Amino acid sequence: MVAPAVDLLRNPLGAVRGLFSIAAMVASPAPAATLELSGGDWGIKGVFDKFLYEEGAIAQVPHIDDLAHDSIPSGSLVRFRGMIQDMFDVEYYVGAYKDCNTWQTNKYTDSPVPQDTEQQIWDRRLFYCVPIPGENQWMKNTWHSNAVQPDATSQSLKRKREDIPATVEIYDGNDADLKLNDIAEFVGIVWKESELVSISASDSSALAESLMEDDTSLQLPSSTVPRLHCITMRKLSAYSIPSQPGALADICSVRESLVCTLQSVLGEDRLAAEYLLLHLLSKVYSRVEPLAVGKFSLNFSGCQAGADGSVSLVASAVGHAISVLLPCSQVVPLSLEDLNSCLIAPRKDYATNRLVTGGLQLASGTHLTLDETALNTGRLNETGVKNLQSLKSVMESQKVDYDFQYYQMEMPTDLPVLVVSCGKSRILPADALVPLRCSAEAARIHAEASDLSKWRIYLSSAREADHVIEPSMQKIVEEDLVAARQKDRTVGSETFHRWLTMARLLSLSYGERSLTRERWEMMKELEMRCAARLRETTT
Amino acid sequence: MAEPSSPLVFPESPGLSDRVPATPVSAARNGSARRPRQSPSAGSSGHSTPILPGTPGFGNRTPNYFKFTGGRAREAEPQAEGAPVEDPGSKTYVWGTNISIDDTREAMHLFFERFRESPEAVEAKYIQLLDQVIELEGRSLNIDAQNIFAYNEELYSQVVRYPLEVIPLFDMVVGDIARERRPDWNNHIQARIFNLKLSTNLRDLNPSDIEKLVSVKGMIIRCSSVIPEIKEAFFQCLMCGHFPEVTPVDRGRVNEPSKCANPACSAVNSMTMIHNRCTFTDKQIVRLQETPDAIPEGETPHTVSLLMHDKLVDAAKPGDRVEVTGVFRAMAVRVGPNQRTLKSLYKTYIDCLHVKKADKSRMQMHGGVEFDNNEIFLETDTSPAVYEAKINKLKELSKLPDIYQKLTRSLAPSIWELEDIKKGLLCQLFGGSTKKLSSGASFRGDINVLLVGDPGTSKSQLLQYVHKIAPRGIYTSGRGSSAVGLTAYVTKDPETRETVLESGALVLSDQGICCIDEFDKMSENARSMLHEVMEQQTVSVAKAGIIATLNARTSVLACANPSGSRYNARLSVIDNIQLPPTLLSRFDLIYLVLDKPDEQTDRRLARHLVALHYEDPEVELLEALDLPTIAAYITYARQRIHPKLSNEAAERLIEGYVNMRRRGNFPGSRKKVITATPRQLESLIRISEALARMRFSETVDECDTVEALRLLDVALQQSATDHSTGIIDMDLITTGVSASERTRRENVVSSVKVFIMDRIQAGASLRITELFEDIRANVNQEMSLQDLKTALNTLMTEGFVSVLGDNVARS
């Protein structure tokens, strides 16, 4: 395929049309052949992929939200990074029409077509994407630092960049591997109507009107929400960070420095810092209904509530530390008013045919810090009870029930949850409970930028790594588990799950790929010290 | 009436007469046919009445046909119902294809007159059905597409490919035949075609389906209000009052007479429409959404709009699961009103022909509804052949010697051990049979199960699992549900101010299983409601002047923590459960889910968990049946198998029951143990029936009763209970013991018995430790002191030995 001699960056539609006309010509003038054109993309994705990723032109593509909204001309190439918040129905559009005996394509645009022409109907899919919820500032900066402002005029505007949602049209069945709450970077052609136009069905009967009434694309006109016609895209994960310059040299020392920092954040509590590190590395790596294997939610007890209803000191210090370490995180104070006021699980609104988002619609990998110290005594209403159930279901099985009115739909998720509470949290059952023993005030994180970037890379790569167990080690583990249970009947499958998860995370935190005796013993040592603390607190 | 937007005069129409493509789907056809046929082009007709347009649907079917005379395409007049214009010497074709109208009509006639479902049938199926329709003054005839396919494959493919043209032909042919059967018949009968060979997944609809007959399944989520659409317009002259014949709506448009037809008047532009005398039909827009089971993980459900006509309006309500058959259509979207340019978007919908309410995913108890072909909304789900194959597969399964074990294994495979509890739950799922005596008294067949046990023993997980496969399963937590939440609740509809009964969990799970978690946390009030439900199987509501008795033929599966949140081994069973005996006795099976040390079990648990964390966990579950299979198996058994008690089984039951009664007869034990009552005898019968059902056996055999007795025994740890004190000997708990372990124990018991027969004279006694040493030295079998004690206990209940302190005596 010869790359057409047009500027892909400035006139992407020109390239699209060029490639289409070549394909249409090759396909011979037989009318049946135009059907074939609807299937392929005439090599467009290939051309753009090569241009953007191999030749590195992606850096020159402006972010949709870097531009003042009214300065983007329709038909320019932009990129947009966001989370898929809602997936709409398949859209049928005129993909090609015959104009003076030659076929013209209308793909990647919203331009109107002349009436009374021969037309081809193709389909595409519309997604509603929002800025990644809970994304931390440093992460946004990393993505935007390598973006080049397209020209001087927009730079001179110096407007404050704001996160905006966008609708994305996906073509050629590329939506197949995209799921709700996925994060992706879309590159495509932005299209917007110059003015708000009223759209009506081709006949204005009551019937047609009621057909159109809950049409989602009408509620999101491109004059208010930019519409991106996606040519190519990359799926991203919420834990991965864009640039990872090589492996870290000395994992153990990076680990040590990170634990020390976490220790100071937690009022010099080393044990809690170790648990927190493991917690930050956890992710769900397999599901055996109804279990989510690998999750490791943590509960710090013994925290004081913040003064006059604000977030407790520990929660805010830990929350801040996590926000500079992980790409996406949120601190949620659990106050009665908040719990009772609005639902945190998303629900479907059939009147608009859209998914109403909730606090728990987050990309997998987003960290949640729940501050239970903010919870006062009082009465929970129906909403409050439902909200607590949703939180409980996230902690227990990493699933959120989306309310589709006629049925609940379970959406698997992966949100590591840290609960900060006064006593042991009975409402939100965590996998591990650590009573805090602060010998100093919980402090906000202080660190060099270079350290921070090292820790971020460390956390991200350790979280992604695989882990195995050797048969010999498996024997030892089994024996240990049996012995522990024979000794203490309260040790049950819950404890076993926790131990196995911790042992795995501990190995990963040292950069090891298989479980060793040393790490297993280390895990037991941690658990022993934690159990001792628990006994102290209860007596 | 050559309007410019009509595809009929499309300039690019290929020479149709000689270039009929081999595959009837040509690009040209697709291209043009998709254009809106009904766009009322601005200014094309000054006399069009503006309020009339509408999409052509099956409410007013007016197909487009072409008539070829000498190779030049010319439009045929819209065919008047049942009276096609015949023009000898020319052939009429469906536009753009080689389908001849006459040939197709001929094929249809033959189909109606000849098709019989079985060779023995005296009269043709559809003639018979049509006679019924005529008799009942009906307006529609359901035609099974599978029948069309069986009779004439070509006709079937024509209907599916060109429904807009071929279905009106069906209407005409039906009309013709109707008039043949009854000459004065004057009504229009619609042919409603259903049961296509292929049902399309809502998600897979694509542009190539446009204007094809499709069948999709889904759940209705929204119904619009009824939209009246004009069918015949009535005009009257304002000047003289003259009115002509009603004007039929032609493709969504009415031609307003420009001049009064009364020669005496002849006023121009004087005709006005009289709404009251026009005829209207009903239309409705309904939104269909994919059912939850069709949605891939992590996706949101797709929806599609449906257009319903006439009788189909309000045929289904939001929440119904339906399968609709209709034509998939697309309608252009316009930029602003009255503009010539079109937005490039199309809005799609399905023009419905037939709606079938289906509820396949949940099982129906009473054999479902009879197959009635001419009733619009009730049909069987699958074709007989597929159904047959499915049934045969289930029957084969039932013949497996280890089907009981297999089912047990497949129930909640992620939960380790607890085998006997799973067996109890299986019995609940299968259920006993409901008996109705001629005197009117009825005995419930539902089995109620209570799980009492320590926290963290996977009780809730078991509940969740049962809820998943149970018919009409409702899951509720005792903590959150008030009495009304469980039973029924009277509300006032905010709009109409009508008083409405809102069903609670128990009524909703009528004919199903109501799972109640945290039973012990439930308020006294709510629990008392259960008394009625669990024996009389009804709920009575007396509120706001309404006294209603609602059916709640539900099995209850409840789970609770012991009174002290952990089982206290020093207290009796009753003291631990702490539920009123009246309620307790209504549960057929009460399981104590207790945790007890067993190295073997621990080892397996440890291995299982390590595997879970490090290996592909799929491997372990291979032997289990998958969820849909179990559900289907249970459904079939509940519907079709109604086992009867055999004589041997009955005797065995009586014997077992008498034994149970005797056991509870220790002096002063009445308050400490759960004694057998006639309710237990009923339970035993139900459980035995359920066990027979699992084997698809029509008789309850002795083996079923033996197992039923054992289950009841295990449930309350009867064999482990000291009946004089009601305290359970924790070492003797058998719950969760695997089958192999049980066999081993049985072997131990029999060998101990043999040994004691040998060594101890009747009446003599021996110290247990001595006996143990003796056995160890002489019997070639692995045995621990614990095993011996267990065995002795069993032998004691058999009355073979008596144990006094450390001494064993043979009685």
**What pLDDT score does A525 carry?**
92
Between B46-50, B397-401, B633-637, the lowest mean confidence (pLDDT) is in B46-50
B126 with B220, same domain: the answer is no
> Quick check: B479 and B518 in contact, CB under 8 A?
yes
Residues found in chain B: 811
Classify domain A251-464 at the CATH class level.
alpha beta
**Distance (Å, whole) CA A504 – CA A508:** 6
B704 with B778, same domain: the answer is no
First-last CA distance in chain A: 77
Q: Which residues of B touch A182 (CB under 8 A)?
A: 298
B390 with B341, same domain: the answer is no
B136 with B181, same domain: the answer is yes
pLDDT band at B57 (very low <50, low <70, confident <90, very high): very low
Radius of gyration of chain B (CA): 36
Residue B21, domain member (yes or no)? no
Beta carbons of B613 and A293 less than 8 Å apart: yes
Closest-CA distance, B417 to chain A, in angstroms, reads: 12
Beta carbons of B612 and A485 less than 8 Å apart: no
Closest-CA distance, A285 to chain B, in angstroms, reads: 9
B417 with B435, same domain: the answer is yes
List, edge to edge, every strand of the sheet that includes B72-75.
B72-75, B65-69, B91-94
Model confidence, pTM: 0.71
B535 with B601, same domain: the answer is no
B754 with B783, same domain: the answer is yes
**What pLDDT score does A42 carry?**
76
| Candidate ranges A113-117, A244-248, B46-50, B543-547; pick with highest mean pLDDT | A113-117
Beta carbons of B300 and A32 less than 8 Å apart: no
* B570 or B711, higher pLDDT: B711
**What pLDDT score does A415 carry?**
92
The alpha carbon of A86 is separated from its chain's Cα centroid by a whole number of angstroms, namely 13
Q: Which residues of A touch B55 (CB under 8 A)?
A: 203, 205, 207-208
CB pairs under 8 A, 24+ apart, for B294-301? B294/B201, B294/B202, B294/B203, B294/B217, B294/B218, B295/A409, B297/A179, B297/A412, B298/A179, B298/A180, B298/A181, B298/A182, B298/A411, B298/A412, B299/A87, B299/A179, B299/A180, B300/A86, B300/A87, B300/A180, B300/A348, B300/A355, B301/A404, B301/A409
Domain ranges within chain A, ordered by starting residue: 12-236, 251-464, 465-539
Picking from A208, A409, A482, the nearest residue to B606 by CB comes out as A482
Q: Which residues of chain B from 596 to 635 reach within 8 Å of chain A, CB to CB?
A: 597, 599, 602-603, 605-607, 609-610, 612-614, 617
Residue B430, domain member (yes or no)? yes
What superfamily in CATH does domain A12-236 come from?
A: Nucleic acid-binding proteins (2.40.50.140)
Residue B134, domain member (yes or no)? yes
What are the tens digits of pLDDT across the range A412-433? 899 999 998 888 877 788 889 9
Closest residue on chain A to B596 (Cα): A489
Report which of B472, B482, B469, B478 is spatially closest to residue B450, judged by C-alpha positions: B478
Q: Is B725 exposed, middle or buried (0-12, 13-18, 19+ CB in 10 A)?
A: middle
All residues at 6 or more sequence positions from B580 whose CB lies less than 8 Å from its CB, including other chains = B527
Beta carbons of B349 and A211 less than 8 Å apart: yes
What phi, psi does B324 have (nearest 5°)?
Answer: -110, 145
Instruction: Give yes or no for residue B283 having a pLDDT over 80.
Output: yes
Picking from B287, B297, B318, the nearest residue to A412 by CB comes out as B297
B324 with B353, same domain: the answer is yes
* A348 or B259, higher pLDDT: A348
pLDDT band at B332 (very low <50, low <70, confident <90, very high): confident
Q: Is B657 exposed, middle or buried (0-12, 13-18, 19+ CB in 10 A)?
A: buried
> Which helix (DSSP H) or strand (DSSP E) does residue A187 occupy?
strand A183-191
Beta carbons of A489 and B597 less than 8 Å apart: yes
**What average pLDDT does the segment B462-475 reach?**
74
Radius of gyration of chain A (CA): 27
**What average pLDDT does the segment B60-72 reach?**
42
Q: Which residues of chain B from 324 to 383 reach within 8 Å of chain A, CB to CB?
A: 330-337, 340-349
Instruction: Give yes or no for residue A156 having a pLDDT over 60.
Output: no
Beta carbons of B333 and A202 less than 8 Å apart: yes
B782 with B700, same domain: the answer is no
> Which helix (DSSP H) or strand (DSSP E) does residue A314 occupy?
helix A313-325
The one-letter amino acid at A251: I
Residue B154, domain member (yes or no)? yes
Q: Which residues of B touch A34 (CB under 8 A)?
A: 27, 31
**Distance (Å, whole) CA B741 – CA A216:** 61
> Quick check: B220 and B169 in contact, CB under 8 A?
no
A208 at the B interface (CB within 8 A)? yes
The domain in which residue B760 lies consists of: 737-810
Q: Concatenated DSSP letters for B719-781?
A: GGEETTTTEE-GGG--TT--HHHHHHHHHHHHHHHHHHHHH--TT-EEEHHHHHHHHHHH--S
Between B527-536, B644-653, B749-758, the lowest mean confidence (pLDDT) is in B527-536
| Candidate ranges A207-211, A295-299, B157-161, B712-716; pick with highest mean pLDDT | A295-299
**What pLDDT score does B443 carry?**
76
Residue B171, domain member (yes or no)? yes
Beta carbons of A412 and B298 less than 8 Å apart: yes
Q: Which residues of chain A from 19 to 48 reach within 8 Å of chain B, CB to CB?
A: 31-35, 38
Looking at every residue in chain B, the average pLDDT score rounds to: 70
B295 at the A interface (CB within 8 A)? yes
Percent residues over pLDDT 70 in chain B:
67
**What pLDDT score does A505 carry?**
92
Closest-CA distance, B332 to chain A, in angstroms, reads: 5
All residues at 6 or more sequence positions from B776 whose CB lies less than 8 Å from its CB, including other chains = B783
Closest-CA distance, A490 to chain B, in angstroms, reads: 9
Instruction: Give yes or no for residue A7 having a pLDDT over 70.
Output: yes
Picking from A106, A290, A504, the nearest residue to B414 by CB comes out as A290
Q: Concatenated DSSP letters for B51-65?
A: T------SSS----E
> Which helix (DSSP H) or strand (DSSP E) does residue B633 occupy?
helix B627-640
B698 DSSP assignment: S
The alpha carbon of B713 is separated from its chain's Cα centroid by a whole number of angstroms, namely 35
Per the listing, tokens 């003599």 go with B764
Q: Concatenated DSSP letters for B652-679?
A: HHHHHHHHHHHHTTSTT-TTTS----HH
Q: Which residues of A touch B36 (CB under 8 A)?
A: 202-203
All residues at 6 or more sequence positions from A52 whose CB lies less than 8 Å from its CB, including other chains = A58, A61, A187, A232
Q: Which residues of chain B from 578 to 597 reach within 8 Å of chain A, CB to CB?
A: 595, 597
A212 at the B interface (CB within 8 A)? yes
Instruction: Give yes or no for residue B137 having a pLDDT over 60.
Output: yes
Dihedral of alpha carbons A316, A322, A325, A329, sign? negative
B85 DSSP assignment: P
A210 at the B interface (CB within 8 A)? yes
B300 at the A interface (CB within 8 A)? yes
A21 to each of A50, B13, B31, B791, how far by Cα in Å? 21, 23, 18, 88
Q: Give the CATH number for residue B541.
A: 3.40.50.300
Quote the number of domains for chain B. 5
B636 with B535, same domain: the answer is no
State which of B146, B165, B194 marks the end of a domain. B194
**What average pLDDT does the segment B769-791 reach?**
76
Picking from A121, A385, A494, the nearest residue to B480 by CB comes out as A385
Query: What would the two tokens of residue B449 be?
Result: 């199960």
Residue B375, domain member (yes or no)? no
Report which of B20, B15, B7, B21 is spatially closest to residue B75, judged by C-alpha positions: B7
pLDDT band at B612 (very low <50, low <70, confident <90, very high): confident
B630 with B487, same domain: the answer is no
pLDDT band at A214 (very low <50, low <70, confident <90, very high): low
Instruction: Give yes or no for residue B255 having a pLDDT over 50.
Output: yes
**Distance (Å, whole) CA A463 – CA A453:** 15
> Quick check: B418 and B636 in contact, CB under 8 A?
no
All residues at 6 or more sequence positions from B23 whose CB lies less than 8 Å from its CB, including other chains = none
Closest residue on chain B to A399 (Cα): B298
Closest residue on chain A to B460 (Cα): A290
Closest-CA distance, B301 to chain A, in angstroms, reads: 8
What are the tens digits of pLDDT across the range A163-204? 788 889 888 877 778 888 899 989 988 877 654 455 544 454
Instruction: Give yes or no for residue B124 having a pLDDT over 50.
Output: yes
Q: Which residues of A touch B39 (CB under 8 A)?
A: 115, 202-203
Report which of A514, A511, A466 is spatially closest to residue A255, judged by C-alpha positions: A511
Residue B638, domain member (yes or no)? yes
Q: Give the CATH number for residue B152.
A: 3.30.1640.10
Q: Which residues of chain B from 473 to 512 reach within 8 Å of chain A, CB to CB?
A: 480
B605 with B701, same domain: the answer is yes
| Complex-level ipTM | 0.81
Contact pairs from chain A to chain B, CB under 8 Å: 249
B297 at the A interface (CB within 8 A)? yes
**What pLDDT score does B59 carry?**
45
What phi, psi does B220 have (nearest 5°)?
Answer: -80, 130
Residue B721, domain member (yes or no)? yes
Q: Which residues of A touch B287 (CB under 8 A)?
A: 214, 350, 353
